[in-house]
Each structure stands twice: as C-alpha cells, then as structure tokens.
Amino acid sequence: MGLSFNKKTIRDIDLNGKRVLVRVDYNVPLDDKGNISDDYRIKKSLPTIQYLLDQNCSIVLCSHLGRPDGKSDMSLSLKPCAEHLSQLIDKPVEFANDCTGDQTKQLVDRLQPGQILMLENVRFNPGEESSEESRASEFAKQLASYADVFVQDAFGVVHHGAASVSEIPKYLPGVAGLLLEKEVDTITNVMENPARPLMAIIGGAKISDKLKILNRFIDIADVVVVGGAMANTFLLAEGIQIGKSKAEPDDVPLAKEIIEKAKAKAAKQKFVFYLPQDGVVATSLDTNARTRIVDYSAHVIASIEAYPQMPKREAGIVAEDELILDIGPFSGAFIAGAMQLADTVIWNGAMGVTETPGLQGPIGPFAHGTELIVEAMLGQFGHRPFTVLGGGDTVGYIEDRKLTSSFNHVSTGGGASMELMSGKLLPGVEALQDKE
C-alpha cells in the first residue's frame, strides 16, 4: 500500500471472537417500489464483513439511508438492505427494528460468533445528526455499548461529523475497514504520487462547490478539463453568450481568477486548461427536444454543416431561449484525444445532463459528451489510463450503465472523495486510532 494510510485497520488488531460494531454505507438508491436499484455500496462492504467473519467475530452493522431527519420513515428502512446482504453472503442477517432500546440490546446480547445483526437506520434517531453535543454523544455511547471494537467502513460519510461517524470512537477503540483504507489510499496516492501525465476532468454545477478541487488540480495536474453546468460560468467569464443556461453569474470573477492562474502556469510549463469549444443546446431538457450544436470558438462543425455557404451567425451563438446541456463533439473528441497521452485520469462530475433518457438507446440526448469520456477512459481509442472516479452524478451514471467494475477505482463517496482530493482532513478518519 502507499505511504498514505496512517490509521489502524482491522488487520492491525486482534479481533478473534470479538463483538464488532461496523459503520457501513448502505445509502443505496431505491426504485418506486422500495427495491434496491443498485447494490454497489453493499458489495463494496463485503471484504470487511468477510474478514470479520473469518476472525470469528459477531457483527453489528449500522448505516443511514436517505434523509429521514430524526424520524422513523419506513420507506427508508434498512430492512431491504439486510435481506439483500443475506443473499449476497448466503448467510442469515438479523434485523433490529430500532438502533437503541431494550429489544435491540437483547438481540445484540444474543449474538454468537459468526452471526450478523443490522440495526435500523441511524438517522431515525434524532441523536445521529443533532447539533447538541450531549444528544449526539448520548446516542454514540448507546451504540458503542454494543461492541468491543468499532470499525469505520463508510467512506461515503467520513467527511460528516455525525454521531455514528466521529463520536463512537471516543467510547470504543476505532479502526478502519478495508474499503475505507482502499478509498483513502487510492485517492491520496493519485493526488500525491500519480503516474504522469495526470489529467483531471471536473464537471458538476457550481464553481463554488469545486473551487478548492479546481485550484488543487491546477497546481498538480498536467491537464485540467472543465465541463458540465460549471463550464457555463467560465464561458460567461470569456464573454460567450449562454442563453438561459444554468450558471452562477456571481462566480464570474472567480472563474476569471482561475483562468488567469491556469494561463500563468501554461506560460511556464506544459499545461492545458481546457474549456468546451462547442456545446449541445436545446430549448428544454425534454427527451424529445430538438438539439443543435453551437460552435463557440472552433467553428469546425458549423463550417462543415453549412458548406458551401458561410455558416449562419447563430451557428456560433446560443440563442436567448436555449440551454447548453452537454459539451459538443469537438470538445468531446479533444478531451478523448488528450486522454491518449495521460497515464492517470481523475474524473469528477458529468459533462452534461445525463439524467434525460434517450429515445434511441441508453445514451440520452445530453449524455454523448460524458459517454465519449467513458469510452476514452476504457481504452476504446487505443490507450487506457489508470482511472479514478468520484462524485455522485458521475458514479450514478456509471452505475446506470453497469460499468462500475470497468474502472480502476470508483469511489463510494462523492463528498468525501472531493474533500480528500482538495486536501481536507476527514473527521471520521481522524477519529480512528493511529498506527504506532
């Protein structure tokens, strides 16, 4: 492993026959009928659970699901997760209808080595996310009373300060699970010691959300690409009309600063900061909306389409009633081409509105730019870099396309992977025991 992970893991302590409380991240997407529509996060917890079973532990699992705000909302019960986990490991998983209380305590006390109990959604308890320290610590104490050791394996929440994340280790020895270790290690290593050239592709909506990560990548990467709605604010900063596209006009000065910083770096060394040169626009997000390509700067597509005439002026201008909903084919091809020379690619944020379903197949009208990037990352144009994916919408898209296993590392935590990439400490990791 890399030099990065300095916390004790389940491999560093004697767990034989112990009772272990494991914080997992089973915050999985559910369909209209309440069934689990993607079990990626549950599957990612299996190595830790299997290791603990091999050590003859009895296991108490706790997790959150959704945002029930301290109230019981049975549509967000973890019971389907317990049933699903039981199928995956071919072993019964008991379920407690609450995370505290006498009945739960009895179920915990009855656990034998090799048995697993899952507690109900910790967010049904007001103590989990309470801002009152006494309430949070009271809840954490109750959870801690169930076990001899606490294992943190929920990478998706370690950037939060919730009771089940950073409070429990105050009352129980806390160590990392195998998923948490792998996530922190992989992400820290690609940020601190990547195989170069390093390319970062940053999408998503708001510059303000990704300012730290953008700045960090301009410092450390060889190529930085901006896409998604966030690119619209950069286009505004460059004086390009964006119609009624989503943007953050207040962030234009920030965008200008970032562009200047990138230009200064490019003047000194080999560095590319790339903003889309064309886009796919439509007047609505509708599946049936007519799309067209607008060339902001390259004018290649417009010239070819209009030949032998000169392209019409509107071929290079987004109309007032139009929205930019994806990067265009020229930009997609440029990014895919640059990727042929990259040895590490970090991707965070889709390039367009990937949620709009397509009429001709799985790829929607505004997902072609994102799809081109996926193809390039998977080596369809020749070279296959080491790939790390993070961010909720990116991972969601890859899950929908059933491609999660095709990349080197697909992070189970959107916010946590971003915080880690921008160099922040994660409270849920800091709370664990240090290696000697």
> How far is it between the farthest Cα atoms of the chain?
82
pLDDT (tens digit per residue) in 339-364: 999 999 999 999 999 989 888 888 99
Statement: residue 1 has pLDDT above 80 = no
Closest to 433 (Cα-Cα) out of 3, 22, 6, 8: 8
Spatial contact of 158 and 180, defined as CB atoms under 8 Å apart: yes
pTM, full prediction: 0.91
Question: Is 41 part of the annotated catalytic residue set?
Answer: yes
pLDDT (tens digit per residue) in 197-236: 999 999 987 888 888 899 999 999 999 999 999 999 999 9
Residues 6+ apart with CB under 8 A from 361: none
Question: Is 312 part of the annotated catalytic residue set?
Answer: no
Statement: residue 427 has pLDDT above 50 = yes
Q: State the catalytic residue, choosing from 228, 392, 414, 428.
A: 392
Question: Is 110 part of the annotated catalytic residue set?
Answer: no
Q: State the catalytic residue, choosing from 19, 41, 44, 182.
A: 41
Statement: residue 11 has pLDDT above 90 = yes
- pLDDT for 241 equals 95
Looking at domain 186-421, its CATH architecture is 3-Layer(aba) Sandwich (3.40)
Token pair 């799809």 is at which residue? 371
Which CATH code is given to the segment(s) 10-179? 3.40.50.1260
Q: Where are the domains of the chain?
A: 10-179, 186-421
303 phi and psi angles, rounded to 5 deg: -65, -40
Q: State the catalytic residue, choosing from 206, 246, 261, 384.
A: 206
Question: Is 392 part of the annotated catalytic residue set?
Answer: yes
Spatial contact of 64 and 32, defined as CB atoms under 8 Å apart: no
Rounded Cα–Cα distance for residues 150 and 168 (Å): 7
- pLDDT for 29 equals 87
Residue with the bigger pLDDT between 413 and 280: it is 280
- pLDDT for 5 equals 85
Domains 10-179 and 186-421 share a fold: yes
